Chains A and B, each alone.
Chain A
Amino acid sequence: MLKYIALKGLLAILVAFTASLAAFLLLNVASDPAQAIAGEDATPDVVETIRIRYGLDRPVYERYLSWLAGVATGDFGESYYWHKPVAELVADRADETLTLALSALFVTILIAVPLGALAGLNPNSWIDRAALGVAVSAQAIPNFWLGLIMIILFAVMIPIFPVSGDNTWYHFVLPAIVLGASSVPAVMRLTRTGLIEVMGADYIRTARAKGFRGNALLRRHALRNAILPVISVLAVQLGQKFGGSVITESIFAINGLGRLALESILGADIPTVQMLIFVFAIVFVAMNLLADILNAALDPRIRIG
Chain B
Amino acid sequence: MTDVQITQTTAAPQAETEGLSPGQELRQRMLGHTGFLIGAGLITLVVLIAIFAPLLAPHDPYAQSLANRMLPPIWQEGGSADYLLGTDQNGRDYLSRLIYGTRISVTIGIGAATIGLLIGVTFGVLAGYFGGWVDHVISFLLTAQLALPGLLLAMALVFIIGPSIWVVIGIVGVLHWTYYLVVTRSATQRLRSLDFVAASAASGASAPQIILHEILPNLIPQIIVIFTFELGISILAELSLSFLGVGIQPPTPSWGLMIAEGKQAMFFRPWLVILPGICLFLLVIGANLMGDGLRDITSPEGRNG
Contacts and interface: CB of A to CB of B under 8 A. Distances in A.
Contact of B277 (A19, A31, A142): A142
Contact of B240 (A30, A142, A276): A142
A142 B152 contact: no
A140 to B, nearest CB: 4
Interface string A3-21: 0000000010011101100
Given A190-B2, A268-B160, A262 B155 contact: yes
Nearest to A193: B4
Q: Interface SS of chain A: helix, strand, loop or mixed?
A: helix
Contact of A30 (B149, B160, B243, B263): B160
B48 interface: no
Contact of B267 (A152, A273, A281): A152
B287 to A, nearest CB: 8
Given A23-B153, A144-B259, A149-B273, A33 B160 contact: yes
B234 to A, nearest CB: 12
B2 A246 contact: no
Contacts of B149: 242-243, 246, 276-277, 280-281, 284
Given A15-B144, A189-B2, A243-B149, A124 B280 contact: no
Contact-residue size bin, chain B (C-beta under 8 Å from the other chain): 35 or more
A155 interface: yes
A250 B157 contact: no
A27 B158 CA distance: 10
Interface in A275-301: 276-277, 280-281, 284-285, 288
B267 A31 contact: no
Given A152-B273, A189-B2, A281-B147, A265 B156 contact: yes
Interface in A194-225: none
B152 A30 contact: no
Contacts of B144: 15, 18-19, 22
Nearest to A124: B9
A100 B277 CA distance: 24
A68 interface: no
A143 interface: yes
Interface string A170-194: 0000000000000000100110110
B31 interface: no
B2 A273 contact: no
Q: Residue among B6, B149, B157, B159 with the most chain A CB within 10 A?
A: B149
A15 B143 contact: yes
A139 B232 CA distance: 9
Nearest to A21: B144
B159 A36 contact: yes
Nearest to B285: A140
B2 A233 contact: yes
Interface in B274-293: 274, 277, 280-281, 284-285, 288-289, 292
Contact of A190 (B4, B147, B273): B4
Contacts of A137: 281, 285
A104 to B, nearest CB: 15
9 contacts: A19-B147, A132-B6, A140-B281, A141-B281, A242-B149, A243-B149, A265-B152, A277-B149, A280-B148
Interface of A: 11, 14-16, 18-19, 22-23, 26-27, 30-31, 33, 36, 40, 123-124, 132, 136-137, 139-145, 148-149, 151-152, 155-156, 186, 189-190, 192-193, 233, 242-244, 246-247, 250, 261-262, 265-266, 268, 273, 276-277, 280-281, 284-285, 288
Given A143-B240, A262-B155, A273-B156, 7 more contacts: A22-B148, A27-B157, A139-B288, A145-B280, A148-B273, A266-B246, A281-B147
